[in-house]
Structure 1
């Protein structure tokens, strides 16, 4: 099992410095609000591609003292005998650099080494918020199956932005559009394929658990992936067929897109729809507690679906929203996953069900101390 064996922070958020050793057991971080628990989870989230669980700007992460910010922040970790270093570039504060064993590395290489998933209070509005939030949620899951998914998404968005610029500027040169649309089709097909594969595996896991009549304290979810390209992959079409379809659609839509000044169709418009199976009710119409339970259930199902590369889970303030029985059931589910878990909460009593099976750390004012014994 891949796990983070050590974590060292330098001038990151509220931490001037931090150096902790981790055994691979679940990690519990408890302490009052504002102590720095989520900051630590955010640091761990930067050991994967992207902008972390808060989607913060690189220049906003350096520790501040009054009006002065540190020159640069850094995160170092040991993962499966590999030294991972992520940090801000002092000369270019809006950029970050990734190194594996001292050598510059790409986000795809980082994703191949380590996969992370997270749940935060901000995601409580996932089902009622915009489709873009659900796409990000789905794309984070997709990185498990396709480490290059993040790069394909970035390339698609870059090319779409360039096409939108032509559209808004009234450019009509056919050759420019064809070149951009060919690249959008290739990258869009990669994005759609990864999403379709991810949702298919997630549905299979949910159905297998239901067929086994597992006593599940979290509700069963019914999933539907809405998106033309994704639905074509789910229907069995080949990559080449979907790629050609996207390219032909972009060409056919060009006059309409020119009037709108932007690309109206594509994988940037896809959505993930979720229903509460027992109630046969859309997730967005469920109660706040039911939505939270659905979200936790989906995350657990996705983690169970990984037979070879189990993702590390970062769960921020999840336990506080559950009653004592569901909290205990969640902890047993997490232990059964056999992967590394990081959890936060305001009080150690929220995690009593671990019963000595977790590393307990008290967090106070940017300092972390491990607690042992009862």
Structure 2
């Protein structure tokens, strides 16, 4: 899979830009603040209908304008498709494929698959549980578009249930109404939890292999890296059921056990929205114990493991697009060389860098200079 052409209208800093790209490594080089990341962010947005940098669509639309358009010609298995997203903050977004409008923008998901590695990925190791949950959910979205619908339904159910719990604080409530929402939350939450657990199991061997490749020292390489799902049901990764029914039943029991606490606090305390992934290097949790370099190794290994899993024969017939956003300047020589050698064999790699020297020789394919709102062949 690759993007053959990318066109933006009023997206971020760009009034209009149209870039002919193609397969192979593509490097966008320019000083900070010139719009390099905006280009790869637009490609990633087509895959996830979400930004890796901001939590809402509003900053994606150029200041003073009402909408932004991201348009791309995408080649997949030798077939080309023109896809387009119209971003309308405060209103419904719109999507088109080959100029035919889709009934729902969510139907565009699955047309483009990406794996993006950026300096913000240190949060996978050092950040909040929400960062690690998002990593799993983004990966699942690249696997199956169904995940988007299940997650949206879960979040809607969670909001409605929280509203009911909040209104019930300090008052008598009809528990039969709450039980209906319990069932709904457990059914949707059980599916999300089961899928997260299964994909974490499947990623594990890729994670161990990639970490051995990017680790900076022999001592770091010898320590086993593990990723364990930590559920608010009190059950850890190894013992948690993997089937949908088992996850649903366990979640429902946990909800019932926490009923009094939830009524007192007016919020849902159990479910995949509260879970975490515990990363360990050797015997110690990475968060709080890993050095800066070790954290980089683990974050990079996680992204590469995600990419390896998505390109496996049973996951799809083509490579996702690999996006490396301003990361080479942050990596030492060993980690840089491992990432570059792996990326050389990917159908399309999009790289951003402040200076050309940061781009490893193996990824110096087509290069664009980005400056003053323009993207020029270099």
Structure 2 Cα separation of the partners of residues 242 and 232 of structure 1 = 12
Matched, 1:98 2:121: no
Q: 1:349 aligns with which of 357, 363, 378?
A: 357
Query: Residue in 1 aligned with 2:71?
Result: 76
Greater shift, 2-11 or 41-50, is seen at 41-50
Change (3 A) 1:292 1:94: farther
Residue equivalent to 2:335: 326
Q: Which residue of 1 aligns with 2:370?
A: 363
CA contact (8 A) 2:115 2:306 kept: no
TM-aligned CA distance change 1:236 to 1:174, over 3 Å:
closer
RMSD: 2.4
1:151 aligns with 149
Among candidates 106, 109, 128, match of residue 107 of structure 2: 109
Aligned residues: 356
- Tell me how far apart the structure 2 counterparts of residues 316 and 17 of structure 1 sit (CA, whole Å): 22
Distance 1:281 1:249, change over 3 A: closer
**What are the superposed Cα offsets for residues 341-366 of structure 1, whole Å, 9 maximum, x if unpaired?**
2121111111142265x221111122
Residues 1:196 and 2:193 are matched in the alignment: no
1:216 is paired with a residue whose SS is: helix
> Cα distance 1:217–1:126, how it changes in 2: closer, same or farther (>3 A)?
closer
Instruction: Give the direction of change, closer, same or farther, for the CA distance of 1:215–1:51 in structure 2 (3 Å limit).
Output: closer
Q: Structure 1: give runs of 5+ residues left out of the alignment.
A: none
Which residue of 2 is the match for residue 317 of structure 1? 326
TM-score, normalisation: structure 2: 0.86
1:101-250 to structure 2, matched below 5 A, reads: 101=98, 102-104=100-102, 106=104, 108-170=106-168, 172-207=173-208, 209=209, 216-218=213-215, 221-227=225-231, 235-250=240-255
Q: Is the Cα–Cα contact under 8 Å of residues 4 and 23 in structure 2 kept in the other structure? A: yes
Closer/same/farther in 2, CA of residues 38 and 22 from structure 1, 3 Å limit: same
Instruction: Structure 2: give runs of 5+ residues left out of the alignment.
Output: 216-220
Q: In the alignment, what sits opposite 2:285?
A: 282
> Using a 3 Å threshold, how does the CA distance of structure 1 residues 314 and 107 change in structure 2: closer, same or farther?
farther
Cα distance in 2 between the residues matched to 1:56 and 1:355: 31
TM-score, length-scaled by structure 1:
0.87
